[in-house]
Structure 1
Amino acid sequence: MSGRKVVRGGGINTIEVNAAREIHMRTVRARIPTSAAADKTSQRDFKTPASPLKTPARHVCNNPNNPPCSHCGTMIVPSPSASLPLEDFPSMTINDWTISTKKRPILNSQELEHWEKHELRGLTLPEMIFGNSFVRIENTRYGWTLQFNALDALKLVNLADSGIRVSYSKKWMDSKQKKQSQKSSSPSEFEMDDSSLQIAHHYDWTYTTRYKGTERCQNEKYRLKRDDTQSLPLDKLARPDHILFYDDMILFEDELADNGISILNVKIRVMNERLLLLSRFFLRVDNVLARVMDTRVCVEFDENKVMREFKEMEGDYKSLLARHRLSHSHDPKAALRDANWVAQNLPQIRREFETLIFD
């Protein structure tokens, strides 16, 4: 036993090194380009399928920021670019029609002061105004535009008392009158007369506006004309057409001192053959009333036809709440915060329809 020489170590280490070298050589060989013959064989065996023929899109996306469509038919959903101030100006052209939108933040203090002193004198402004945002539909051939913006909408707010009172106003006045009658007959410098108990507003504090858009044209011949016998092509608008362009924005909003909501927003969607715009003013005065003003604009691109429908709906708050309770048991007031549900369940009190066809 003592004459035998035992060699330890080296064996396992040698095997590991050789295995690593083989793996490295395989990796190197795999990176060496194959011969021309092998390339021909691979091309014969694997044929690239022919791409289907595509019909050129009729629209042109004019927005370089989001996203570059390049006639691919991809829906354009505007969003602010990564810059300050946040701003986006997406636009799309189909035939003679150009559709554009612009989103900006709410007005700053300097802009609000300018509006109060020069643009909307006598009106206390809503809490939030997106005064530099707009939606515009333009016929470039005839110089006709229809634009939706906050300033023109607020110019239609009545500068007189609307007569609408919050739900607790009567209780407040009754309480004040009761305290007044309980006072001693001796005069007091703090004594109030009946006129001091009257609540008066020198403007419509609900900001109700029957705004249908701002129409401008180079030729008076091309203006929307009233024709209540016509209606929107609901069958065409209900088709599942691919949406090329979509936007949704708020123009102004006010919570009426926590007594409800007053909001004006605009939505637009553009398809290959037509567009549909909805401008909706939604008012809810808690425990008093609900009111909806809907303006829908439809443009048929091939016919060069513009249609505008205006609907006014209004109803008592308690009646609307009772209608919801007939079919729902959970949180009935949640439905009254849904403008779509309210619009579907309010009685219509006015409808106007206008059309315009370009030669």
Structure 2
Amino acid sequence: MNAKPKQCPFSPGTLGLSADHRHYQQDEWLFETNRSHILNSKCTSSFVCDKTRAMMMGDECCDSTTNRKQQSTPRKSLDEYLDCKRRIYYERGLCQYCKYDLILSMAHLPDMTYASNHLRLVHKPSRLIIEFNALDALAPIVIKSYGLPVGLKVSASEAWLRARMNCEYTQNVCNADFDWTFSTDYGGTFRLDSLDKSSSPTEAIELRPDQPPLSQWIEPTDERIDMEQLKIHKQINFFDEIELFEDELADHGVAQCLVKIRVHPDCFYILCRFFLRVDRVFVRYFDTRLYHEFGSGYLLRERSQHESTIAELDLASDMAQALLTHPQELFGHVPIKNLVVDKIHLSSSSN
């Protein structure tokens, strides 16, 4: 039943396809995953990239990577981010690192950013595309900047600061507008496959949940994903787990974002999860779950936020350490803070 899916227009996951590239087709859906190496930590073609930066943005953008590391991360609006992505991502004169650097303008990217990894779904009748990729997963960090709740610090922060009270670098770091937790509530990227196959990928319009037409296809619902039903052992036709990014928070915990998919004979289920653990201080989950029964006209989507201080978790002392290092097992012990459930209709997408 395998079939090569149609190429998705304007897709950050399209570039840098690796040998670990999988695709599968079932019912009216195409599924595609790609897994590759982490993003380089610096520019890989400075002569070409600096020339392109100067041409696109002026001479002041040259060597901006070095300068930015000493500054805070500028906040972006969603419109600014989308505009940067459209103008920059498919620019041939920039390496992949420089594209991430210019689009996100982050003071520091996660240590492991899987820039070419993605999960992509295409619903053929409606032409709706749902994709999970690293670039868009990082965008909420500069748009929303969740950070830690007010008053919380890493366990070693006070001693570290006392030892460096007169250090100018310490003062700059403490005042920097940079979400070092890399917290993101990313729940996927939506777009429509182009009917005009001669069109440029950069001309494709990304669908925003807060604007038509996508906002017209989404409605709140009381229906929930039956998680107990999903626990029943049944045939899995396609499975993959794709890492988007991970950082060890300077040895003070972990921040990671990944997406998993399971395709059964009668349905598919996706979990996109951001997990944060600040050692001895705090844990957080941002989860997006997508569920679809083949033949139905909609997907169920659940978006949830779970978080707690470590001190408030009800963990047995003999189990605490093991649970804190296993996000799947720890999840059931972390209280929910917010839940949004909606339907994403498919039948209207082709109208």
**What TM-score comes out, normalization by structure 2 length?**
0.67
CA distance in 1, matches of 2:213, 2:100: 35
Alpha-carbon deviations, 1:67-117, whole Å to 9, x = none? xxxxxxxxxxxxxxxxx9852222122222111111111123434631353
Partner of 2:246: 253
Partner of 1:99: 31
CA distance in 1, matches of 2:173, 2:39: 33
CA distance in 2, matches of 1:192, 1:250: 37
Partner of 2:77: none
Question: Residues 119 and 197 of structure 1: is their aligned pair in 2 closer, same or farther, counting only changes over 3 Å?
Answer: closer
Aligned-pair identity in percent equals 27
Question: Residues 227 and 122 of structure 1: is their aligned pair in 2 closer, same or farther, counting only changes over 3 Å?
Answer: same
Q: 1:234 deviation in Å?
A: 3.2
CA distance in 2, matches of 1:293, 1:311: 6
CA distance in 1, matches of 2:288, 2:17: 31
Greater relative contact order (CA < 8 Å, ≥ 6 in sequence): 2
Q: 1:173 deviation in Å?
A: 3.4
Partner of 1:162: 147
Count of residues paired in the alignment: 262
CA distance in 2, matches of 1:273, 1:267: 17
Matches within 5 A, 1:314-329: 314-320=307-313, 323-325=314-316, 329=318
Alpha-carbon deviations, 1:175-210, whole Å to 9, x = none? 556xxxxxxxxxxxxx679x9498223210110001
SS of the equivalent of 1:119 reads: helix
- Out of 78, 96, 113, the position equivalent to 2:97 is 113
Partner of 2:190: 215
Unaligned runs of 5+ residues in structure 1 are 1-59, 65-83, 178-190
Question: Residues 92 and 230 of structure 1: is their aligned pair in 2 closer, same or farther, counting only changes over 3 Å?
Answer: same
Q: 1:300 deviation in Å?
A: 1.4
Matches within 5 A, 1:93-242: 93-108=25-40, 109=42, 110=44, 111=95, 113-158=97-142, 162=147, 164-174=152-162, 196=171, 199-217=174-192, 220-221=212-213, 224-242=217-235
Contact 1:161-1:202 within 8 A present in 2 as well: no
SS of the equivalent of 1:90 reads: strand
CA distance in 2, matches of 1:299, 1:270: 10
Root mean square deviation of aligned Cα:
2.8
Q: 1:140 deviation in Å?
A: 1.2
Question: Residues 310 and 207 of structure 1: is their aligned pair in 2 closer, same or farther, counting only changes over 3 Å?
Answer: same
Q: 1:241 deviation in Å?
A: 2.2
CA distance in 1, matches of 2:192, 2:221: 22
- Out of 8, 19, 38, the position equivalent to 1:87 is 19
Moved more, 229-238 or 246-255: 229-238
Q: Quick one: which amino acid aligns to residue 169 of structure 1?
A: S
CA distance in 2, matches of 1:334, 1:125: 28
Q: Does 2:306 correspond to 1:313?
A: yes
Contact 2:100-2:135 within 8 A present in 1 as well: no
Moved more, 153-162 or 337-346: 153-162
SS of the equivalent of 1:240 reads: coil
Q: 1:228 deviation in Å?
A: 4.4
